[in-house]
Structure 1
Amino acid sequence: MSPNGLTLFLRVTPNAGRDEIEGVETRDDGSAVLRIRVKAVPDKGKANAAVVVLLAKVLGVSKSAIELVSGDTARAKTVVISGDAAQLAATVSALIAHD
């Protein structure tokens, strides 16, 4: 969390059967990532765009509030979501607890 928003670390699976947030995965190094599946293919940024659309929808923010800061061509991605960090963190926590 930062004063300007929330940073999320993602593990994205493109070319999936549906768009969904699967939950949290603990990696071998102990870090946690949010697992996301999108139907879009990993071609010319289509999967990245689908990730932004999905996150914007479930978090209730505009697509322009979400910035991909690393992992443009990788499955491991980092996004920064502009807005009230505490509110965004609470929304993400509720999503994870719901699954």
Structure 2
Amino acid sequence: MCDITIHLLPNAKQSGIVSFAILQNDTIYIKMKVHAPPKKGKANKAMLTILAERLSLNKSSLKMLSKHSSPIKKIYIDKDCEEIIELFKRNNPVTL
């Protein structure tokens, strides 16, 4: 079970992961931009789509734990954090 913190930046020119870090308490922190506006859940849907694609997972395996209107998102994934980190290393152009 792995919790990920995402700082979501909507209305960006390009969508994608800007940065990725592993914090001291083994929390995964991601900064992500999405082209979608923060209206009617469009930015959240875009974020979950990008995250699922990067991790080669189904969107149904991702659960948003935080308020939908906050720019800081808490995402729960039913996989071990070490496995998630390895998936990011294999599937992302972001330097880890």
- TM-score band (shorter)? 0.7 to 0.9
Partners of 2:16 and 2:33 within 8 A in 1? yes
TM-score (norm 2): 0.80
Partners of 1:14 and 1:38 within 8 A in 2? yes
- Deviation of residue 84 (structure 1)? 4.2
Q: Which residue of 2 aligns with 1:11?
A: 7
Which runs of 5 or more residues in structure 2 are unaligned? 22-26
Helix, strand or coil at the partner of 1:92: helix
- Aligned-residue identity in percent: 24
TM-score (norm 1): 0.78
User: How does 1:19-98 map onto structure 2 within 5 Å?
Assistant: 19-24=15-20, 33-93=29-89, 95=92, 98=95
Q: Which residue of 2 aligns with 1:28?
A: none
Partners of 2:55 and 2:88 within 8 A in 1? yes
The verdict on how the C-alpha distance between 1:81 and 1:32 changes in structure 2, with shifts beyond 3 A counting, is closer
Residues in 1 aligned to 2:63 and 2:28: alpha-carbon distance in whole angstroms: 19
Helix, strand or coil at the partner of 1:24: strand
Which runs of 5 or more residues in structure 1 are unaligned? 26-30
What's the C-alpha RMSD, in Å, of the aligned pairs?
A: 2.4
- Deviation of residue 51 (structure 1)? 0.5
